[in-house]
Structure 1
Amino acid sequence: MKQIEVQILQQSYLLTCPEGHESRLLDAVERVDTAMTRIRDGGKVRARERIAVLAALNLAFEIADREAADLAAGAAASRATPAVGAKTHEQESLLPDGDNQRLQTLVERLDQALGDDGRLL
């Protein structure tokens, strides 16, 4: 594990991340800092805790929108492709770590709800 000191909303944090994932962590820090700065500079909210909660909600909403768009695009692609083959490494890398399992669980739940006549895949 590696420790990296970062600045978020002009406050220092010492964060730990696995070796080789430093750039992903720094990208995440930049996103959080940008989201929090935008809220603070909007002038309506000054409390750091409230800014953090609003930024987290905004980022979660963006992720949910992206996931919904990815699911819709995946469903459209599977309808256009007659046979479903194994996923390529390139396709899997479009989703963040852990999301492939969540997506698979969601598809299985949808398949159960739709029954044999309406299987997604």
Structure 2
Amino acid sequence: MKKVLILSAFALVMNFGVLSAKEAKPKKNHAAMKQEISNLLTPFQEIEELEEDVTVKVKVMMTPKHQIVVLKTNASDEGMDTYIKESLNYKMLESADLQAGEDYVFTVTFRAE
């Protein structure tokens, strides 16, 4: 009986060790992609005249040719929405971080000066 108790305790400890050693999927940083999008969204005159910071959520999809297609933004200003779409739509990305056919959502913050 004592051996059964010791073996079951040992098995329980080993199972816990295996379960705790499982690695979660690491999140990708996409640093190269962020830098490319940041370069594409260099501010124009109307954005430079912002009175306060504006954060916009942008939903994009990647084409098989690594081009960005803007699906939607939550910009409250029509000019900001148009600027984002014109700056990003069908622009090629050199980084291959994103998969074709997948939707991605990211935030863009335009800082007031």
Establish whether TM, by shorter chain, passes 0.5: no
Q: Tell me which protein shows more helix as a share of its residues.
A: 1
Which TM-score applies when normalising by structure 2? 0.29
Larger Rg: 2
Q: Tell me which protein shows more strand as a share of its residues.
A: 2
Which TM-score applies when normalising by structure 1? 0.27
> Which has the bigger relative contact order, CA under 8 A and spacing at least 6?
2
